[in-house]
Structures are given as C-alpha cells and as structure tokens.
A and B are shown apart, each in its own frame.
Chain A
Amino acid sequence: MSVATTQLRATDARATVLPAPVRHAAAGVRAGLRAYALVLFSQNPWAGLLFVAATMVVPSHGMAGLLGLVMTTGWARLLGRPERTIRSGFYGFNGLLVGLALGLYFRMGLPFVGLMGVLTLLTVIVSSALSNLTERYVGVPVLSLPFVLVTWAAILATRRFAGVEVALDPVLASDWGSGHLPVMAELLLRSLGACFFQLSVLSGALVMAGLLVASRWAAILAAVGFVSGYAVYQGLGGPTGDLTAHFVGFNFILSSIAVGGVFLLLSPGSLAMAVAAGAVTAVLSAALLAFLEPFGLPVLAMPFILTTQLVVFALMTRATAGGLRLVAGTPGTPEQNLRRTVYRDRRYPDPALPAMHLPVMGEWLVTQGPDGPHTHQGLWAHAWDFEVADDEGRRHRGTGEALEDWLAWRAPVVAPADGRVIRVINHLEDTPVGEVDVANNWGNLVILWHHGDVFSAMCHLAKGSATVREGDTVVRGQVLARVGASGRSPVPHLHFQVQGSGDIGAPTRRAALLHYVATPADAARSGGVDVEGRAYMTHGVPDEGCRVQAVRPDEGLRQAASLPPGRTLRWLIREGEQLREETWLSEIDALGGRRLVSDDGRAEAPLYADDSYLTVLDYSGPPDRLLGLFSLAAARVPFLDDPTVPWTDAPSAMAFASPLARMGRELVLPFMLAGAVPTRSHLSWDGLRLHVRTELDLEAAGQAGRGLPARLDLTFETGRGPVALRAWRAGHLVVDAEVMP
C-alpha cells in the first residue's frame, strides 16, 4: 500500500483540551484503526473497527495480528521512521498481516511473541527498503509485498524452530456459520475474510460490512473481481478447494478493487480492467501455487501484488493517457478518487501538463491551433500560430503587401514562464509577404528551458530583434524579441510551442495556456462591447479562430483576495431571524497545501492561489455551514480587472446532499457527471473592494442544486480578505454574513 498522507487534522488541534496521555492514546487508536482499514484501501476508522471485529472472531488469532501491528509501530518509532508514514498505518498494516498470517498457524505464547518481535523488526526494515525501491525508482505501489516476503521467511524459518507451537482454533472456526448461504455468496464472504486470514463466514460478513462502510464501489468491485477470478479458475478446471484452502480467492478481490478503482480512476474502462485483473490473478495464482509447491509456501497476497503492480507499471509508461486514467497523488477509496478527480479534472489543468502564459501581450487570433491543418501535425502537432486581427478579422492594414502593414508585425514577444534562454537565432532575414524560407524552417527563434524536460520555443521572430542572449535568466513577461516573418512564415506571425528538449525543431509536447480571456471563433459582437461567448479561462487549449487576450497582472487584486495562513475569520451570520457565528482558520501544511477550516474542525475547504487566481478546490463538512457557501462563491476568483468578462465553473455540490443522495451520486459518477453545479461569475474591483457575483444554474444542477442559493455575492477587501457573503434564493436574501473586525 502506498504511503498515505496524513495531515495534522483540525480534530487533533481541537483535542488539545484533553490531557496529553489521553490525546496520545486516541491518536494511537486512530492510527491502528487506519492500519486495519488500509488492508482494503480505506482510511475509514469505522471500517477499521469492523475489520478489527472480524479478526477477533477467534480472539487469540486476532491478538496475534494486533501484536504484529503494535510491534511494527514500536520498531518503526525506535528506528526513527518518518512519523507521517507511521501514522498513515503503512508499517502497521504490514505487521498486522504478518501477525494474522502466522497466527493462523501458530499458537500464541512466549516463543511466538519472541518470533514476532524479530519478524516485525524485519517487516519495518523490508518495508522501508522496498517502498523506497518501488515507489521512488519504479513508481509502483509497494502494497503488502513486505508482508509476503517476511511471512515466507518466517514459514521457512519455523521448519527449524520446533519451539513455536502449531494452533488449531482458527481452522476450527472455519465451519462457523457455513451452509446458510448460497455457495457463491459463502465463497465470496470466506474470501473476503481471507483478506485478514479469517476462515469463518462471520468474519467475512464483518469484513463485507466494513467494506460497505468504507466504499460501496469497493464492495461492488470485490464481487466483480471474485466472480471473474472464480469463473476463470473454475472454468479452466482448477480445484474449487484452492480458493479457500490456499487463500487464493481473496487475491481476485484485492486485484479487482486495486485496479478497478484505487489506482485507476473508476470508469467503464476500469470496470472492464477489474474483470480482467480478476482473471489474470486467477491464472497467476495457479502458476504461483505450482511454483511454490516444492517450497511448501502459500501464495499469500502475491498474485494480487504482481497483478496490480504490473498493471500500474504498464499504464504508467504509456505516452498518452487513453481511456484508463491512473489516480494522481495519494490514492484513496474509489469514491474519494472519483470525487477528487472528476470535479478537479474538469476544473483544473492536469498537473502533469506543462502550462504557459501567453507569450504575447494584448489580444491575438489563433490562426492555427494544435493538430492544425497546415503544419501542426504529427510530432509537431501541439503548437499555436498567433496573429493580430481587428474586429472585422482583418489582419493587416492597406493592401498587406508590406510586412509593416500586418498588425502583428514587430509586436513584442515575452517569456511565457520563468526560465533560461538556451538558444537564440537572430540573423535570418524576414521573408517578404507571401514568401517562405524553407531552408531555415523555424526562422529566428528563442528557446527557453523552464524545468525538467519542459522547453518553449518562439519562432519566426524579426531579424535582429532578440533582446536576450543564450544563458540569460528571464522572468515571465520579460520581452524576448519581436514578431517577424523569418523562416517558413508567409505573413508575420508567432509560432509558439512547448517541446521536450532544447533542440531547434524538437517534437512538441501537449501544453495548456494560462490566464487569458477567450473569444471563440463564432462569437458575435452585438454592437457594443458585449461579446457573446467571451469568457475568462484559468487554463485552456485555444483552437484555430479563437481570440485570446493575456490578462494583465494585477497585484492589487491579488492582495485583496489573499487569505494569508494564520488568519482567523470570525463571521456573524444572519439567516432569516437567526444570528449565529462561525470561525475559520486559514492554514498551510508542510507541503504548502492551503485550506480554510472551521474552528471545530468539522468543515474544511482546501484552496489554491497563485498570482493569477484564487480557487477553492472543494468542500467537506456539514451542508449548512457558511464555509460551504464560501466554497461555491469563491470557487474561482481570477485576478481580472474587467467586469464585462464572465467565467464559468462547475464545483461539486456533493457536500450539500444528504448522505444517501451522495452515495447514489457516487454510484453513477463513473458514468456521468452528477452532483456538480454550473456557475457563472463576474467581478468588479474598485481598487479597495473586490466583489464577486456568482449565479448558480440550479436548473441544470437538478437534484444537486436542491437547497442551494441561486446567487452568491462575495466581497473581499484589501488588507482584510473576505468581508461579506450574501446568498439569495428566489430574489430573497437568505444568508447575510459579515466578518467581524
């Protein structure tokens, strides 16, 4: 299992009122429950509790697991492993499994405890080494591989250690509760129980209950994977007894959950992959059984680990994402991944995608976009050609026979991001209008290196116009050269591309543009300044015919909308006749992640801000909190000083739905976007106060919009941050909140 990030939650902060020992004990219990839940890819403490119960059906067996968990955690502390990783339950869950696996064979007693003491130390060491190797160098999750290796070692070792007594109670328990359910259901439950090396149907039922609490989709995937693996194993004539006697069945389940929704984003495609993963695991299980037979070793979780790691590795090394998407960041339950990704995907650029500001100032026309019909093809597909056009679409004055007639001619070209100049060509002649210099295809150019393998190239520059030299460090917005017509450039224009190396003419990389006002090709200007379809974009990939206008940086707006970490906001809220208060804290974590959190820790809204915009990523907490409304009102606040330009968004309204409705929506989320509210906003700025008005399209939101206001007015003030939030429904002011000074 990969390392789960655990932030210092506000609940911990609130617990400061408790005495220190109680606090530590509570934190310890939570970390322990997390380790149990982690076996089935969850962090839900309630699920963890149910899993604990499942192991305790035979108390001595359960205690062996608990012993493993506690001991590994102790060793990890003693060895000075990172506290974050310890709290995530990573060591604990491997130790837990070692304890449970060996507890199945051996009786609890002093020799066993002694053996466990050594094995748990081994678990910590192997875990540390393996996670370092696989996660850092290969990039695949280490899963429970440490457990498998340590357990194999232990089983082989105990052949020489007669002092460890063999136990029979767990095996006896396997008959409990059997025979009441249909065969398949009983097999499924037994296999679920086998995830924790439990043999009884009762344990299986408890595990199933925990799984349902943690994730409905995981439960579905468990059944899907099991059926698929079973069908293949059985269909090829494999003995049914293997599935339970050799603990093979649970591998199908784990593979299916891992591939179907934990490491891959749940989608119709990943569901198919889950079925396939069950089948692959079945075959691998048979192979491993045969392979390990001479050694007398069980397969344990090895088929699942192999299948999952291979699938993830194969998908990771693709050049393009295709239909199957790996989950970025720390994987959670299928639902968590979906919630996080589905909305964020639609709302934010792919973090892996290089993103650049426009390399020009003012408004430009895209005369050829990515995959353009003329030259942006094949390896060089991801590029833009920019020209300037007036309202009627004319790109030149007069006849256009002279280069000077063209509106783009000699307009400054600026650095699209901070970087270093690694290549400058500056001596080529600008070709007369209509002519091209194919010998020097790219013409005069400047290539910048931004970071890693992200380079940008600005081509066809005017002769002698470069104002930077190779080796110079440039900052975003710095003038590099002027637009020209050198190289293959029949009319003055700028060719812009992001590429993977600093070579002239290197293949292009997919990229997004940041922070601009877009006017689509078919937009009609209606007499005055209102242009239908014109909208602000935090990011995008403009196509041919689209007009793009770089948004000028506005330090004043940025400062007005800032929420410096450490700030406390005390709101006075009037809802109808009722007055109440709410207090938020602005926090920042070690990795720079920022959020607003209510003082009781129950509501939180992660946020992100740079010098282009402020955005609230999502909201979790009770539906009636002001912070929830704020997350919609400040879903996206661009630093854009133009009240005539609107922008749209579709933040999630999941948090405002009832738990049942939320579960329902999560079930359809892989197939269709449910639970988002389309919004349309614009802002006005008077130099001191920034007003953001957001209209919620409740009609389009359907069920998701129930109980939400139709309009939100949010005001920021320079030096104070948010100061007022008003919500309107059906023309009535329903929430009127102000920050107390």
Chain B
Amino acid sequence: MSRQPYDKPTILKHATGLANKFGRGPSRKSLERIDGVKVTELIERFGSPLFVFSEHRLRQKYREAYRAFSLRYPKVQFSWSYKTNYLDAVCRIFHQEGAWAEVVSEIEYEMARRLGIPGEHILFNGPYKPEPALRTAIAEGSKLHLDHYEELYTVERLAREAGRVVPVSIRINMDTGIHPRWDRFGFNLDNGEALDAIRRLHAGGHLVLEGIHSHIGTFVLDPEAYGRAAAKMAELALTVRRETGMVVKYLDVGGGFASRSTLHSQYAPGADGSPPIDDYAEAITSALLGAGFPQNEMPTLMLETGRALIDDAGFMVTRVVGNKRLANGTRALIVDAGVNVLFTSFWYRHDVLPVLDRGGMLEETVIYGPLCMNIDVVRPSVLLPPLEAGDALVIRPVGAYNLTQSMQFIRLRPAAILIGENQEVDVVRRAEVLDDLKGPELLPARLAP
C-alpha cells in the first residue's frame, strides 16, 4: 500500500449540507487528459497558455446538431458562423461536415473564399457591407442578407448596372417574447416594415426574394422563442408568395442557441440548465412543418449555429504562476491566461479544473489573470484544491468567441492546437511574437531611437 500524500491543514468556515441545495457539496473534479492526450505533455510541447480544440468534439457536436434537425425536417443546411471562431482548421472541419459559411464582413468573406467555399455557399450578413464587397458577392452569387433600406437601394442599383436580377434575402427582427428584444438588425416584422421592404424590392424589378433571415438573440434559453420566430417567418414567406408570387427558398433562423456554458446570472450549471439542441430543433421544425407550405415548396431551413457547436470543443490550458491570500482571507490564484484571451469570462462562469488533484480541502478561490489590470478576473469564485505554482489548469468551455475576440493587450496571444480524431496534435495557430504586434507600425524617422 502506498503512502497517503501529506495534506496541509486549513481552517475553513463550515458550510452545512442543508444550506447547499445540491446536498453534500461538489464532488472533486480534475481533467488530466483532453481526448486522451495528457495536458501536461501539451504544456511541455507547446507552452502555456494554450488554446486546445478537439476535432472529435467539433464533429460530434455538429453531427448531433445536424441529426437533431435532419430527423425532423427534410431540408436542413448549417452555415458556420465565422465570427464565432474563424480558425482555418475549425472552419474546414465544419465545411467538411457539410456546413456553408456565414460571414459578416468582407474579410470573413475572403476567408471563406480562401477555404474553397464557393460564393453561393456563403451567407453574407451584417449591418455594413461596403460596396466593393457587395459587387463581389453579387458576381459570385453569394446569399446577401439585406439589413436596411440603404443597402437594399445599393444592391438594387448594382443589379441594374449588372443588368440582371439578383436574388437577395432580408433580415427581419420581431417580438418573440424574450428579452432583450433585438431590433437593431434588419427590418421589423411586427410593424410591417419587413413586408414593405419586400414589396419595395419586388416592385424594383431587379431583386427577387430568395430567403428570410432572423437572429433573435444570443444564449437564448427558451427554445419556444425560436418556434415563434420560425412561425412568424413562415407566415411572412407565405404572405409574400400570395402577394408577389415569389417563392421563398430558405428561412434562416440564425443562431443563438445556448451552449453548456453557465451565465454568471444562471443558478444551475449550464450543462443542466441549457436546453438540449433537440428542443430547439423540435420547436423550429414543428413550426415550419405546421406552417402550411405546399410539400414541394418547403423552404430549406438554414441555421447559423455557432456557440452551441464549438463552445464545448475549446479548452484553455493555463498554469498557476502564484498563490495569494487576499486581505479578507480569501484564497487567490494568479494564472498565465487573462481576460485578453478569455473575453467570455465577463459573461460566463467557466469550469476551472486542475489537471492533477493532489488532495486537500477544496476552498473558494479567486482566479486572476496575468494582466496588470484590475478587471483581469477569470473566475471570481471557484472551489479548488490547493495548487502550487507551475500546476496546470484547464478552463472550459471556451471554444466560442474567445479566440476571435482575443487581443494583444499587455501580453501576446497564445498558440492554438487541434487534437485530431486519432489523437494527432497539430498547431493550427502559432504563438505570437513581438513582430506580429509591431509589424504594422511605422516609426517616423525623427522619432527613431
């Protein structure tokens, strides 16, 4: 029998089981491996902090989502929301699985084209699409989602100049019974603006309505809100069919499904509190199947799911750089990954798991990032066993937005690696060097050192 490790005594305020809704308190959790690959080995090879993505989880999540919808609706098409994570490797995995691209700027458009996505498989969203970008998009047949009248007029003019009829879609917003109500994107449905816009584009003669798009919010925890949105969109499509004869080929319900992340305001952990993707699928497809489309004119259901597909597949591997006791006695840890690379810490209570649990009492701990800024708090409070400098932690789920929104602030951005289906490990983005930050700068000669 091996000797038990030494456990340093700690004095803690006693929290009784009764005061804790979940009974005897949290079980101890640690995470030694990601997809079978040892985290400590990853740190040895690639340093820390380190973004880690799991190809297996990406594909699994995509297939689960696709299955949820394709079992319930005959024509389903996912489009990968580039802004959620536009690492080439990640995008390619989704494209291999069959997803199109959903982009919101000309640079994202170019990224998708460079990854071999044909124009007609790109949904072009966003409130600002510069005219040259619109020209390219029209020429390459991409799916334009008009956001406002000025854009409608511009596209109409470009279509007239090109001497052709351009298929377009319009983005609409509406009341689906949730808060906040997003009404800054697209045309409002409830006050009739959306139908007016469609009538206008039909009357112009150079545009034809191909799709209707909405995106009711983000991290929406109520699947029925999507059901209501889908029903309203279907009704609009049928009205358009009746009034103008234009057959709407697709309805795009956007994204915004909740992932298993936990909002700071959420009581239960996201893994328990967020509805499964099947519930969203059920709500949306039931609304569409019951809308009364003729069987041969069923529109394709487009989805721009981002977070729900990728969040779980992303991990941040970080190391403890120091232990601290705050003035009030609270324990604090400083880690080498800060909010500049974990932007979503502001909204979500990420899981923070030690790679190796050596035992000892769990204790409420504040986790600070390495930035010399007061706001750099990764978790205000999390139960952790005693850890020493150099010990590794895994923060999850961080697949969505953290990488695209990360910035070089005080520190440079870390490398990102991808663990393949057969545990092969590839660097998909190298760690930055100073030139990556300073490269674009120009120093006037008179200021040269």
* A362/B71 in contact, CB under 8 A: yes
Which residue on A lies nearest to B64, using beta carbons?
Answer: A390
* B120/A391 in contact, CB under 8 A: no
* Stretch of B72-80, B231-239, B253-261, B437-445 on the interface side: B72-80
Total number of A residues with any Cβ neighbor in B under 8 Å:
30
Query: What is the 8 Å Cβ interface bit string for chain B, positions 32-66, against chain A (1 contact, 0 not)?
Result: 00000000000000000000000000011001100
* A361/B421 in contact, CB under 8 A: no
Task: With both chains docked as a complex, state the minimum distance between the C-beta of B271 and any C-beta of chain A, in angstroms.
Answer: 13
The answer to whether the Cβ of B97 comes within 8 Å of any Cβ in the partner chain is yes
A361 and B73 CA atoms in complex are apart in Å by 7
* A475/B67 in contact, CB under 8 A: no
Given A411-B72, A687-B141: 7 more A-B contacts, CB < 8 Å: A363-B71, A390-B64, A391-B63, A407-B71, A408-B71, A528-B421, A688-B141
Interface residues of A in 633-665 (CB under 8 A from B): 642, 644
The answer to whether the Cβ of B270 comes within 8 Å of any Cβ in the partner chain is no
Query: Can you list 13 contacts pairing A with B, beta carbon distance less than 8 Å?
Result: A362-B70, A362-B71, A412-B72, A412-B289, A475-B295, A477-B74, A527-B421, A527-B422, A529-B97, A552-B75, A686-B120, A687-B120, A688-B141
* A529/B98 in contact, CB under 8 A: yes
CB-based closest 7 A-B pairs: A362-B70, A362-B71, A411-B71, A527-B421, A687-B120, A475-B295, A552-B75
The answer to whether the Cβ of B420 comes within 8 Å of any Cβ in the partner chain is yes
The answer to whether the Cβ of B2 comes within 8 Å of any Cβ in the partner chain is no
* A555/B296 in contact, CB under 8 A: yes
Task: With both chains docked as a complex, state the minimum distance between the C-beta of B290 and any C-beta of chain A, in angstroms.
Answer: 8
Chain A hits for B295, CB < 8 A: 475-478
The answer to whether the Cβ of B118 comes within 8 Å of any Cβ in the partner chain is yes
Task: With both chains docked as a complex, state the minimum distance between the C-beta of B245 and any C-beta of chain A, in angstroms.
Answer: 16
A225 and B344 CA atoms in complex are apart in Å by 88
* B97/A553 in contact, CB under 8 A: no
The answer to whether the Cβ of A388 comes within 8 Å of any Cβ in the partner chain is yes
Chain B hits for A688, CB < 8 A: 120, 141
* A363/B74 in contact, CB under 8 A: no
Contact of A553 among B67, B120, B296 (CB under 8 A): B296
The answer to whether the Cβ of B27 comes within 8 Å of any Cβ in the partner chain is no
Interface residues of A in 461-486 (CB under 8 A from B): 475-479
Which residue on A lies nearest to B424, using beta carbons?
Answer: A527
Chain A hits for B298, CB < 8 A: 477
Chain B hits for A407, CB < 8 A: 67, 71
Chain A hits for B118, CB < 8 A: 686
* A361/B74 in contact, CB under 8 A: yes
Task: With both chains docked as a complex, state the minimum distance between the C-beta of B324 and any C-beta of chain A, in angstroms.
Answer: 41
Interface residues of A in 267-290 (CB under 8 A from B): none
Task: With both chains docked as a complex, state the minimum distance between the C-beta of A495 and any C-beta of chain B, in angstroms.
Answer: 17
Most buried by A among B74, B96, B98: B74
* B74/A550 in contact, CB under 8 A: yes
A410 and B60 CA atoms in complex are apart in Å by 21
Which residue on A lies nearest to B66, using beta carbons?
Answer: A362
A688 and B118 CA atoms in complex are apart in Å by 12
Which residue on B lies nearest to A551, using beta carbons?
Answer: B74
A410 and B279 CA atoms in complex are apart in Å by 11
A720 and B44 CA atoms in complex are apart in Å by 61
Query: What is the 8 Å Cβ interface bit string for chain B, positions 70-109, against chain A (1 contact, 0 not)?
Result: 1111111000000000000000000011100000000000
Chain B hits for A642, CB < 8 A: 98
* B296/A361 in contact, CB under 8 A: no
Contact of B74 among A527, A528, A553 (CB under 8 A): A553
Which residue on B lies nearest to A475, using beta carbons?
Answer: B295
A553 and B282 CA atoms in complex are apart in Å by 21
Chain B hits for A164, CB < 8 A: none
Interface residues of A in 347-375 (CB under 8 A from B): 360-363
Task: With both chains docked as a complex, state the minimum distance between the C-beta of A562 and any C-beta of chain B, in angstroms.
Answer: 15
A612 and B296 CA atoms in complex are apart in Å by 13
Task: With both chains docked as a complex, state the minimum distance between the C-beta of B246 and any C-beta of chain A, in angstroms.
Answer: 15
* B70/A361 in contact, CB under 8 A: yes
* A412/B98 in contact, CB under 8 A: no
A171 and B174 CA atoms in complex are apart in Å by 99
A478 and B420 CA atoms in complex are apart in Å by 40
Chain B hits for A412, CB < 8 A: 71-72, 285, 289
Most buried by B among A475, A478, A479: A479
Q: A527-B420, A553-B296 are in contact. Are A479 and B289 (CB under 8 A)?
A: yes
Task: With both chains docked as a complex, state the minimum distance between the C-beta of A523 and any C-beta of chain B, in angstroms.
Answer: 15
Task: With both chains docked as a complex, state the minimum distance between the C-beta of A691 and any C-beta of chain B, in angstroms.
Answer: 12
* A529/B120 in contact, CB under 8 A: no
Chain A hits for B64, CB < 8 A: 390
Task: With both chains docked as a complex, state the minimum distance between the C-beta of A642 and any C-beta of chain B, in angstroms.
Answer: 7
A476 and B295 CA atoms in complex are apart in Å by 8
A390 and B285 CA atoms in complex are apart in Å by 21
A104 and B347 CA atoms in complex are apart in Å by 106
* B74/A391 in contact, CB under 8 A: no
Contact of A552 among B67, B74, B120 (CB under 8 A): B74
A618 and B60 CA atoms in complex are apart in Å by 43
* A361/B98 in contact, CB under 8 A: no
* B63/A360 in contact, CB under 8 A: no
Chain A hits for B98, CB < 8 A: 529, 642, 644
* A529/B96 in contact, CB under 8 A: yes
Which residue on A lies nearest to B143, using beta carbons?
Answer: A687
A477 and B294 CA atoms in complex are apart in Å by 11
Chain A hits for B422, CB < 8 A: 527
* B141/A361 in contact, CB under 8 A: no
Which residue on A lies nearest to B285, using beta carbons?
Answer: A412
Chain B hits for A529, CB < 8 A: 96-98
Task: With both chains docked as a complex, state the minimum distance between the C-beta of B102 and any C-beta of chain A, in angstroms.
Answer: 17
Which residue on A lies nearest to B60, using beta carbons?
Answer: A391
* A528/B96 in contact, CB under 8 A: yes
Chain A hits for B96, CB < 8 A: 528-529
Contact of B71 among A388, A475, A687 (CB under 8 A): A388
Task: With both chains docked as a complex, state the minimum distance between the C-beta of B78 and any C-beta of chain A, in angstroms.
Answer: 13
Most buried by B among A362, A388, A477, A642: A362
A552 and B74 CA atoms in complex are apart in Å by 6
Chain A hits for B97, CB < 8 A: 529
Interface residues of A in 403-426 (CB under 8 A from B): 407-408, 410-412, 414
Contact of B70 among A363, A477, A479 (CB under 8 A): A363
Task: With both chains docked as a complex, state the minimum distance between the C-beta of A144 and any C-beta of chain B, in angstroms.
Answer: 50
* B71/A553 in contact, CB under 8 A: no
Q: A361-B70, A363-B70 are in contact. Are A553 and B421 (CB under 8 A)?
A: no
A393 and B321 CA atoms in complex are apart in Å by 44
Which residue on A lies nearest to B72, using beta carbons?
Answer: A412
Which residue on B lies nearest to A391, using beta carbons?
Answer: B63
Which residue on B lies nearest to A549, using beta carbons?
Answer: B70
Task: With both chains docked as a complex, state the minimum distance between the C-beta of A715 and any C-beta of chain B, in angstroms.
Answer: 15
Chain B hits for A476, CB < 8 A: 295
Chain A hits for B59, CB < 8 A: 528
Task: With both chains docked as a complex, state the minimum distance between the C-beta of A516 and any C-beta of chain B, in angstroms.
Answer: 13
A687 and B71 CA atoms in complex are apart in Å by 24
Which residue on A lies nearest to B297, using beta carbons?
Answer: A555
Task: With both chains docked as a complex, state the minimum distance between the C-beta of B90 and any C-beta of chain A, in angstroms.
Answer: 14
A447 and B295 CA atoms in complex are apart in Å by 20
Which residue on A lies nearest to B67, using beta carbons?
Answer: A362
Contact of B72 among A361, A477, A550 (CB under 8 A): A361
Chain B hits for A644, CB < 8 A: 98
Interface residues of A in 686-709 (CB under 8 A from B): 686-688
A477 and B298 CA atoms in complex are apart in Å by 10
Which residue on B lies nearest to A530, using beta carbons?
Answer: B96
Task: With both chains docked as a complex, state the minimum distance between the C-beta of B279 and any C-beta of chain A, in angstroms.
Answer: 11
Which residue on A lies nearest to B294, using beta carbons?
Answer: A475
Query: What is the 8 Å Cβ interface bit string for chain B, positions 347-359, against chain A (1 contact, 0 not)?
Result: 0000000000000
Task: With both chains docked as a complex, state the minimum distance between the C-beta of B231 and any C-beta of chain A, in angstroms.
Answer: 16
Chain B hits for A362, CB < 8 A: 67, 70-72
Which residue on A lies nearest to B300, using beta carbons?
Answer: A552
Which residue on B lies nearest to A404, using beta carbons?
Answer: B278
Which residue on A lies nearest to B75, using beta carbons?
Answer: A552
A363 and B68 CA atoms in complex are apart in Å by 10
Task: With both chains docked as a complex, state the minimum distance between the C-beta of B58 and any C-beta of chain A, in angstroms.
Answer: 11
Task: With both chains docked as a complex, state the minimum distance between the C-beta of B71 and any C-beta of chain A, in angstroms.
Answer: 4
